[in-house]
Structure 1
Amino acid sequence: METEKINRKIAVFTGTRAEYGLLRPLLSRLKASETVNLKLIVSGMHLAPEFGLTFKEIEKDGFFINEKVEILLSSDKPGGTCKSMGLGMIGLSDALERIAPDMVIILGDRFEAFSMGAAAMIHSIPIAHIHGGETTLGAIDDSMRHCLTKMASLHFTTTETHRKRVIQMGEEADLVFNVGALGIENIGTMELMSKEVLGHDIGFNLSQPYILVTFHPVTLNHGSADSNLTSLCSAIEYSGLCALFTKSNADSEGRIINEIIDRFVQSNPKRYCVVHSLGTVRYLSAMYHCEAVVGNSSSGIIEAPSLGIPTVDIGNRQKGRVRAESIISCSPEQKTIEKAIEKAVSNEFRAMAKKIAKNMLNPYEGPSPSKDIFDIISTISTLNLFQKKFYDFNLPDDLQTIHPKYDFTD
């Protein structure tokens, strides 16, 4: 692979608190580099008061935000998401014209990231995409992710399975790199808070056993948020455990979920607590001290196993992801959630989860994801990188030949 040493301008996009937390190790390397000029574009939930104005956390971490692009509408319907994407295309296009980066880094699969990718593609700016090749069959994010893969020129996947899927989609094999998950790198590099300090910081007594709960809308199953979360809350009440909730993302029906969580927490504030956004250090600390992670967040699939914490993954939102044995999958009905939580917090299952972490059996772990990504994006030649080729591999004969029934050639 031809490389070049250039002081290049690299833009990094972030639209949500979770995505920023994953990008943080890479951002730190880019900021410290003498050969890279980091430009940070912040949008989406970061700039919304109802989601905690989390851009302040980015600034508190010492990162300069070059562009703040407002796109979110106060809507809980698909139409609102579509309009936000349209605003994103306009605002992010203007931001790219002002920054004129040599490359844009995008992580994940959300609609904000899609708007960033589409704008960069139209501007002929090469895209480096992180977390491609994964599947989340219960969310529109699945299609968004695959679209971003096709718009991107460089790919950094979290497992070898995901790398093969990206290549299967026609991406050039020598531009697809399996580096592991950035989020796990945070676990080894951050000093986590004690349970007492964390409890004092969020104003909640964590001395009793508690579960960490995050539940997002299943965007391919509209109208399910109310019943699914009501079942989850009933199961939590039945468990007798305390619960620390983080609020939902800005997806369709996300506000419905947040309203239900607020009502549930208010019903017993000594036992339940909700926080808009914990931030990376507090969230990982809360995960480390909890009995189990419950809900449908990707953090329960990717990060929790490396902390030795069991996960109860509810419903289809994360269905299809590669997963460790410490993850229990269940349907979104009260009784099945009750049984899953009971199993997850049992001494036997928690001991098994600890062994997974000790023996590094989390399939998402990599030696140094941020270093591997940085080394590649800071040296790879960008000449003709945007002009993609479709990578063909050997197909079975029956797939290479047009079926006679559908051959309309003369």
Structure 2
Amino acid sequence: MTKPRICVTTGTRADYGLLYWLMHDLHDDPDFELQIAVSAMHLSPAFGETVRFIRADGFKIDAEIPCLDDDDSDAGMARAFGRAVDGFRGAFEQLEPDFLVILGDRFEALAAATAATFLHIPVGHIHGGEVTLGAMDDTFRHAITKMAHLHFTAAGQYADRVIQMGEAPERVFNIGAIGLDNFRRLSIPDRLELMRELEIEPEREYMLMTYHPATMDSASPVAALEQVLEALQSFPDLAVIITKANSDPGGRKINARLETFHSQHRDRVRLVASLGQLRYLAAMKHARVVLGNSSSGLIEAPAVDVPTVNVGPRQLGRLKAMSVIDTVEETGAIVRAMTEAMSPSFRDAIKDSAPPYGRPGDATGSLLSVLRKIDFARLLQKPFYDLPDQALKE
């Protein structure tokens, strides 16, 4: 009997970090054949060419779909989307996967789902049902949900929302946040090892910062970033580890400003395109505070009791733990939020909290147990599910 071919798509350092154990376990599972399709930021030197991390982890890459160029304007990203759709189309025609796994909400994820729809390939979507009103990814995520045939959500409320969108309950599985498996299964470097690798004084405390464009915000992303950088001046004793912005519209402008900031503060600022999975998790686990607007500050940081200062509207609408402090993009407000987050009383208060995405578990195992029971050929027959109290009347 032919083993089902499961194709996993990844376009960024972030989603690869979340998908690592799923890829690892699919590769080792005798019941499946793993295929890997890599696209977007992974293949771009401007964003660290992070495909090298996937290869270094021992994975065979079955398809590469380059789609980015130097234009990250709205129109430029629309053109990148078109290239990605055609690239995935070609890759899927060659690989002929029986099932496609897509995580999240980025444009290349939508492109993969679009190509799969035309080629009648069933899709499993991870992290559907979430809301991030400050980014166009919010629209992409819900579009992928309607193209998908199985859904693996990170919280019960998100599972309910996917069902609300017309997806049959028997196709929706609340497995928790899959990226949290990393804290249980990886050997994360200790603090001294991390400090040594980043050339930071061992006794110095630090913050971890990632700031992406809020693509639905009319304000300039660089103008908003200036408020964040100005706030950092109020904490001169803290080192700052910064990972660069993603390829969303405005990302390159943010990264250019961060380069300048780094050049002016080399004594305490470390700026990298990507830390890699292990170092990023270590940097988060040992940080005094996580600053910025990345989803990792809302999902992974609370799972290890690290406070987060979430800046601006990008994550507006997402479930948030007690350890997350929201603030507007204004220097004084950011300073106040940082001061509160780093206070001993705040750290003590969040230790016994229950993060909405849970603690490290076995989301990967839960997902695989679903795939073992699925007849992939029958997934394409997808009904629309009406909520019982809202069903259309004859």
TM tier, smaller: over 0.9
Note the aligned Cα RMSD (angstroms). Answer: 1.5
Match of 1:375 in 2: 369
1:160 aligns with 2:189: no
Whole-angstrom CA distance in 2 between matches of 1:377 and 1:142: 26
Q: Secondary structure at the match of 1:395?
A: helix
Match of 2:22 in 1: 26
Alpha-carbon offset, residue 277 of structure 1:
0.2
1:327 aligns with 2:324: yes
Match of 1:312 in 2: 309
Whole-angstrom CA distance in 2 between matches of 1:386 and 1:171: 13
Match of 1:64 among 57, 60, 64: 60
Scaled by the length of structure 2, what TM-score is found? 0.97
Match of 1:127 in 2: 123
Count how many residue pairs are aligned between Structure 1 and Structure 2.
Answer: 392
Q: Secondary structure at the match of 2:86?
A: helix
Alpha-carbon offset, residue 262 of structure 1:
1.1
Q: Which amino acid aligns with 1:114?
A: L
Whole-angstrom CA distance in 1 between matches of 2:75 and 2:245: 18
Which whole-Å deviations, capped at 9, do the CAs of 1:207-226 have from their partners, x for residues lacking one?
31111000000000144211
1:347 aligns with 2:344: yes
Q: Secondary structure at the match of 2:37?
A: strand
Moved more, 258-267 or 108-117: 258-267
Which residues of 2 match residues 86-101 of structure 1 at below 5 A? Answer: 86-101=82-97
Match of 2:265 in 1: 268
1:132–1:166 contact (8 Å) kept in structure 2:
yes
Q: Which amino acid aligns with 2:368?
A: F
Alpha-carbon offset, residue 400 of structure 1:
5.6
Alpha-carbon offset, residue 65 of structure 1:
0.5
Which whole-Å deviations, capped at 9, do the CAs of 1:311-330 have from their partners, x for residues lacking one?
00011111111111010001
Q: Which amino acid aligns with 1:318?
A: Q
1:363 aligns with 2:356: yes
Match of 1:407 in 2: none
Alpha-carbon offset, residue 54 of structure 1:
0.5
Match of 2:135 in 1: 139
Q: Which amino acid aligns with 2:388?
A: N
Whole-angstrom CA distance in 2 between matches of 1:99 and 1:49: 26
Whole-angstrom CA distance in 2 between matches of 1:223 and 1:205: 37
Q: Secondary structure at the match of 2:377?
A: coil
1:71–1:87 contact (8 Å) kept in structure 2:
yes
Alpha-carbon offset, residue 383 of structure 1:
3.1
Whole-angstrom CA distance in 2 between matches of 1:177 and 1:200: 41
Q: Secondary structure at the match of 2:116?
A: helix
Q: Secondary structure at the match of 2:271?
A: strand
Q: Which amino acid aligns with 2:117?
A: M
Alpha-carbon offset, residue 175 of structure 1:
0.3
1:218–1:224 contact (8 Å) kept in structure 2:
no
Q: Secondary structure at the match of 2:124?
A: strand
Whole-angstrom CA distance in 2 between matches of 1:106 and 1:324: 25
Q: Secondary structure at the match of 1:383?
A: helix
Whole-angstrom CA distance in 2 between matches of 1:256 and 1:263: 11
Whole-angstrom CA distance in 1 between matches of 2:75 and 2:130: 26
Whole-angstrom CA distance in 2 between matches of 1:169 and 1:6: 34
Which whole-Å deviations, capped at 9, do the CAs of 1:61-107 have from their partners, x for residues lacking one?
11111111111111120111001001001111000011000000000
Alpha-carbon offset, residue 202 of structure 1:
2.7
1:311–1:326 contact (8 Å) kept in structure 2:
yes
Which whole-Å deviations, capped at 9, do the CAs of 1:258-287 have from their partners, x for residues lacking one?
111111111111111111101111001001
Alpha-carbon offset, residue 236 of structure 1:
0.9
Whole-angstrom CA distance in 2 between matches of 1:56 and 1:322: 33
Which residues of 2 match residues 159-308 of structure 1 at below 5 A? Answer: 159-205=155-201, 207-240=203-236, 241-308=238-305
Alpha-carbon offset, residue 238 of structure 1:
1.2
1:138–1:319 contact (8 Å) kept in structure 2:
yes
Q: Secondary structure at the match of 1:239?
A: coil
1:80 aligns with 2:76: yes
Alpha-carbon offset, residue 6 of structure 1:
6.4
Q: Percent identity?
A: 40
